[in-house]
Amino acid sequence: MIYAVSDIHGCYDKYAAMLDKIGISDGDTLYVLGDAADRGRDGIKVLLDMMERRNVVPVAGNHESMAADVLGPIVSNPGGDMDGEAYLLWMYNGGGPTLSAFFDLDEVQRRRVVSYLGSFILRTTVSAGGRKFHLSHTLPPYVPGRKIEDAPHRNFLWGKADYGKVYADGTLFVTGHTPTVAIDPAYKGKIYSKNGHICIDCGAVFGGRLGCVCLDTLEEFYI
């Protein structure tokens, strides 16, 4: 089976409980659609677990991008000056717990985390259960006639997806980034599934739930 989860935001306990709930096995694939760390306490713990699992495919979110901009230079140029702007942006967006847990790691682990962050993909497509899916952290604003692959890369990390628009017939666009309650209050704590979109950020770190969808069956799971 193929599963997707997103915006774990350092909620290691919910993440671990979700793996248990879906009964993930070596034959399954789990796509993590970005923002694995930050805001919550245990982002580094989540990343360390993800990197040990060969069947986890990490897709980048804006938080991985911010983390890499700060942590990359720390390992490549220890003792060097920090990029003040990158640091402030990350801290403003809840990077503090991730940064302090990173400093608790030894040199080898730090390098492994930074190299792992560099391996996150921007977006991908998969087929499952007779359907076609596009997986990314978020989507560029909808532009009529524009192919999704022609949008700027940054839009897949920071973009404001138009959940009221059908981006492409015959493809389901699976995203996180925007807690579903902010798309439509009727979907508070639930996966938003409408207009060719499946938004799975159910606000785990904001007192909501961690959502997960099975792409083969469209079954929804919650912690």
> Binding Mn ion by CB under 5 A: which of 43, 61, 97, 211?
61
Neighbours of 40 (CB within 10 A): 25
Among candidate residues 154, 152, 192, 145, the one with its CA nearest the CA of residue 172: 192
Q: State which amino acid sits at residue 154.
A: R
User: Which one, 24 or 117, has the nearer CB to Mn ion?
Assistant: 117
Residue 180 makes contact with Mn ion by CB under 5 A = no
Site mask for Mn ion (CB under 5 A), range 128-167, x = bound: ----------------------------------------
Residue 191: partners with Cβ closer than 8 Å, 6 or more residues away: 180, 198, 199, 200, 202, 211, 213, 220
Q: Binding segment for Mn ion among 33-41, 92-100, 141-149, 162-170 (CB under 5 A)?
A: 33-41
177 binds Mn ion (CB under 5 A): yes
Can residue 38 be called a binding residue for Mn ion (CB under 5 A)?
no
Largest Cα span, the chain: 52
Q: Which residue type sits at 13? A: D
Considering the rule CB under 5 A, would residue 35 count as an interface residue with Mn ion?
yes
Is residue 178 within the footprint of Mn ion (CB under 5 A)? no
